[in-house]
Structure 1
Amino acid sequence: MTELTLRPLSAHQSAALSGRIAVPGDKSISHRSLILATLAVGESTVSGLLESEDVLNTAAAMQAMGAAVRRDDEGIWHVGGVGVGSLLEPEAPLDFGNAGTGVRLVMGMVASHPIAAMMIGDASLSRRPMGRVLDPLRQFGAEVIARSGDRLPLALRGPATPAPISYRVPVPSAQVKSAVLLAGLNTPGITTVIEPVPTRDHTERMLTGFGASLDMSIDNEGARVIRLHGRPELKPQAMVVPADPSSAAFAIVAATIVPGSEVVVENVMLNPTRTGLFQTLAEMGADLTFENTREEGGEEVADIRVRSARLKGVTVPPSRAPSMIDEYPVLAVAAACAEGSTVMEGLAELRVKESDRLAAVSAGLAANGIEHEAGADSLVVHGRKSPIGGGTVETHLDHRIAMSFLVLGLVADKPVTVDDVAIIATSFPGFIDLMRGLGADLREGADLAEGESA
């Protein structure tokens, strides 16, 4: 199992941030690139892969199931695929560390292959329920032995002859949708996914790019219907991974709330299923300019110029949640610095992220004197020009909680400490150095508040 050593860090009120930066490749696309390249016949290449712990764990899982995976001296990843239906049974448990996306997508991949795989993860991942993914996979004929609550560690065995299913996704989840589609690849016939609320569509776009046959339509109730024709021969691809908008969010919010700042974040993906934060910040009064808009790897990208701005509170509609579900923690930080109250609803998905992310955000706000109310699936943050700070935030092994509250410390009256920044490497290696390069005052754990210990 993955072991992590706690490493506290404090963020102090900083002077204006400035610079031009590139954030790592998109995590969602990185996972999918490795998985689909493994299911193709021949060698694919991936440029700009996010080389985080989460993604590297997925790469190791692909290798364990027969793919030839290597990184060349120029940082390009090469994946020799085995083809749909030809996965090898892994000899040892597949350790996904903290990677919820990785483990759930690989469950779908394995579920229709006649092999068995054991999947394990770190303490955080082992607390996260997997039932929403496993329920439809069982309908394909997969057998699962898991801890109570369908939690890791678990063993999954695919059937000799999987049966196609038609599955209506009960709550918006790109991971559930993607797992079903990946299971459908090695299933004869047509697998159908009905999605009442659209979620990020990277899997559909990439499957089409690899040569799979998908039909997409809208039914009479307005739901998105995706039909996948099973057992295609996927063709190897040369993929370019654009910058992750979820990772870009931290520098963008920091530059917005630290007075006098001007920062450019390069090559950020603008897939419309991922841009809810940018839309919300614009409604709050943020100064965002999209420059050099272009297409890379089948996705629209742009360089985003951010200048500091005075924000005002807004109401974020629940329908926007799927397009910014990972960005609510850092949006809560922006809201803490806005004039008035910001209302966020439709946040139930945050309860089953790397932590109970809604509870972790609420606790972090409370520790730093930010007035707010948290409900079962909602958060209201009452902003003030200069947040108080001075608290220590428990990250609960959640990288986004760590990065979000470090951003808060850059404008707070008193330093904000997070109890662990080691976990940040799961999605954003280099985050601390990058932010320091912009001018962020981040100090190692010696700056814990008096009377506290690491």
Structure 2
Amino acid sequence: MSGTIRVPGDKSISHRSLILSSLADGESEIRGILDAEDIRSTAAVLRELGVQIPPFAQVIRIKGLGLRGLRQPRSALDCGNSGTTTRLMAGVVAAHPFSARFVGDASLSRRPMKRIAEPLTYMGAQFEFEHGDGLPMTVHGVDLRSVDWNTGGSSAQVKSAILLAGLASAVEVRVTEKSLSRDHTERMLRAMGVDVENDGSQVCLRPTHRLHPFDIQVPADPSSAAFFVALASLATSGELTLTDVCLNPTRTGFFQALRRMGAEVDETREMSSGGEDIGSVRVGRAKLRGTRVTAEQVPAIIDELPLLACVAAGAGVELEIRGAAELRVKESDRISAVVQNLRAVGAEAE
């Protein structure tokens, strides 16, 4: 397997570039945004809140409304199947002086929202759930107060909801996690002039009254790149190069795991944009061996764990994963799905 490819733009960074450019004072430029259903859900929610989001293209420009400039929606905020849209925008809405009802498809409606409702309620917002702690969910925003919150786990969505609530309310917020989750929100905020400090698994955002507009090149998604890296690692010959990949250390856990398995995966940092390191990934054929993924390593590889299991099965080596319960509350129970499918093709999995 040989060649050079560039996979589509990163989903996490695409979500955040839309949200933060909408809260900026002035016009921001986004290049290479991912055109996918989840990102379209975020764009649709922002449009309903008064932001003029243009049709997706290679280059789009967004004129932000400022930190407290969003308007009360005339209808429910439809988040489709996007948990990121729901949780991050709930943090933004909680800091505005109006109420908004969040809805989604059947799958999203079953996903837990209490994890963001608890810290945002502590900050002063009010939440109403119509069925358990899923959607539909109504958020009543207010002038929020500062918070020092321990999430008890590692969730970039929970952390980002709190950070965005603090940003829009101009109050200091501090979030402590069990281990560092992906930090795209913090990096992008710093690139836009916000005082955000990371200290291990703790992050502190200090008040600001203005968010500077910015220009960003959305890098290629390392989660999408991972499939081609896996194929090249299992190939009988050749060398593959992936270009413009996001090399944020909180997202490259899959590459690190493959290297522990003996794979030849080399990263070369070439530029930065929006606070993110961007570069190329070169992959060559190698004989793989077994490995373990610990709970501390899970946040940096959470989306690629099912793929890593498939790679281990394909290579005929043992893989042990611990601390990945988060995969059971995605759009499906990913652990159950992977185990069932690997057993169906003859692999031993439990």
Change in CA separation of 1:167 and 1:370 when aligned onto 2, cut-off 3 Å: same
SS for the counterpart of 1:69 is coil
CA distance in 1: counterparts of 2:272 and 2:24, whole angstroms? 24
Name the counterpart of 2:85.
102
CA distance in 1: counterparts of 2:33 and 2:52, whole angstroms? 16
Name the counterpart of 1:265.
242
Q: Which one-letter code corresponds to 1:234 in the other structure?
A: L
* 1:206-239 Cα deviation digits (max 9, x unpaired): 1111122224435xxxxx3322223521011111
CA distance in 2: counterparts of 1:369 and 1:301, whole angstroms? 38
Q: Which one-letter code corresponds to 1:348 in the other structure?
A: A
Match of 1:134 among 110, 117, 142: 117
CA distance in 2: counterparts of 1:263 and 1:123, whole angstroms? 39
Once the two structures are superposed, the pairs formed by residues 335-354 of structure 1 within 5 Å of their partners are 335-354=312-331
SS for the counterpart of 1:186 is helix
**TM-score (normalizing by structure 2):** 0.95
After TM superposition, give the deviation of residue 71 of structure 1 in Å.
4.2
After TM superposition, give the deviation of residue 309 of structure 1 in Å.
2.5
Say whether the 8 Å CA contact 1:71–1:78 is kept in structure 2: no
SS for the counterpart of 2:220 is coil
After TM superposition, give the deviation of residue 254 of structure 1 in Å.
1.6
Name the counterpart of 1:327.
304
Q: Which one-letter code corresponds to 1:137 in the other structure?
A: L
After TM superposition, give the deviation of residue 291 of structure 1 in Å.
4.3
Name the counterpart of 1:289.
266
Once the two structures are superposed, the pairs formed by residues 111-122 of structure 1 within 5 Å of their partners are 111-122=94-105
CA distance in 2: counterparts of 1:31 and 1:315, whole angstroms? 31
Say whether the 8 Å CA contact 1:212–1:232 is kept in structure 2: no
Name the counterpart of 2:44.
60
Name the counterpart of 2:106.
123
* Aligned residue-pair number: 350
* 1:164-219 Cα deviation digits (max 9, x unpaired): 2111111111110000000111324322212331111111111111122224435x
Name the counterpart of 1:186.
168
CA distance in 1: counterparts of 2:84 and 2:296, whole angstroms? 22
Q: Which one-letter code corresponds to 1:262 in the other structure?
A: E
Q: Which region of structure 1 is more displaced relative to structure 2, 49-58 or 360-369?
A: 360-369
Q: Which one-letter code corresponds to 2:50 in the other structure?
A: G
Name the counterpart of 1:442.
none
After TM superposition, give the deviation of residue 260 of structure 1 in Å.
2.6
Once the two structures are superposed, the pairs formed by residues 411-450 of structure 1 within 5 Å of their partners are none
CA distance in 1: counterparts of 2:345 and 2:294, whole angstroms? 26
Name the counterpart of 2:339.
362
Match of 1:34 among 18, 31, 48: 18
Q: Which of the two has higher C-alpha Rg?
A: 1
Q: Which region of structure 1 is more displaced relative to structure 2, 79-88 or 118-127?
A: 118-127
SS for the counterpart of 2:135 is strand
Q: Which one-letter code corresponds to 1:204 in the other structure?
A: E
CA distance in 2: counterparts of 1:292 and 1:63, whole angstroms? 35
SS for the counterpart of 1:70 is coil
After TM superposition, give the deviation of residue 255 of structure 1 in Å.
1.9
CA distance in 2: counterparts of 1:297 and 1:144, whole angstroms? 32
* 1:259-312 Cα deviation digits (max 9, x unpaired): 234322111111111111101001112122334633344322222122232211
* 1:130-163 Cα deviation digits (max 9, x unpaired): 111111111122121213331012111112x222
Is 1:204 matched with 2:181?
A: no
Q: For structure 1, which runs of at least 5 residues remain unmatched after alignment?
A: 1-16, 219-223, 374-454
* 1:60-102 Cα deviation digits (max 9, x unpaired): 1111112121147x62111111111121111121212111111
CA distance in 1: counterparts of 2:178 and 2:153, whole angstroms? 8
Name the counterpart of 2:256.
279
Name the counterpart of 2:225.
248
Say whether the 8 Å CA contact 2:187–2:276 is kept in structure 1: no
Say whether the 8 Å CA contact 2:253–2:300 is kept in structure 1: yes
Q: Which one-letter code corresponds to 1:200 in the other structure?
A: R
CA distance in 1: counterparts of 2:53 and 2:96, whole angstroms? 20
- What percentage of residue pairs aligned between the two structures are identical? 45
CA distance in 2: counterparts of 1:96 and 1:234, whole angstroms? 25
Name the counterpart of 2:295.
318
Say whether the 8 Å CA contact 1:84–1:231 is kept in structure 2: no
SS for the counterpart of 2:219 is coil
Name the counterpart of 1:145.
128
SS for the counterpart of 1:264 is strand
Change in CA separation of 1:123 and 1:259 when aligned onto 2, cut-off 3 Å: farther
Name the counterpart of 1:306.
283
Say whether the 8 Å CA contact 2:148–2:173 is kept in structure 1: yes
CA distance in 2: counterparts of 1:248 and 1:216, whole angstroms? 27
Q: For structure 2, which runs of at least 5 residues remain unmatched after alignment?
A: none
Change in CA separation of 1:215 and 1:269 when aligned onto 2, cut-off 3 Å: closer
After TM superposition, give the deviation of residue 256 of structure 1 in Å.
1.6
Name the counterpart of 2:7.
23
Is 1:85 matched with 2:68?
A: yes
CA distance in 2: counterparts of 1:294 and 1:239, whole angstroms? 12
Once the two structures are superposed, the pairs formed by residues 144-183 of structure 1 within 5 Å of their partners are 144-159=127-142, 161-183=143-165
Q: Which has the higher contact order (CA 8 A, sep 6+)?
A: 1
SS for the counterpart of 2:54 is strand
CA distance in 1: counterparts of 2:184 and 2:267, whole angstroms? 21
Name the counterpart of 1:195.
177
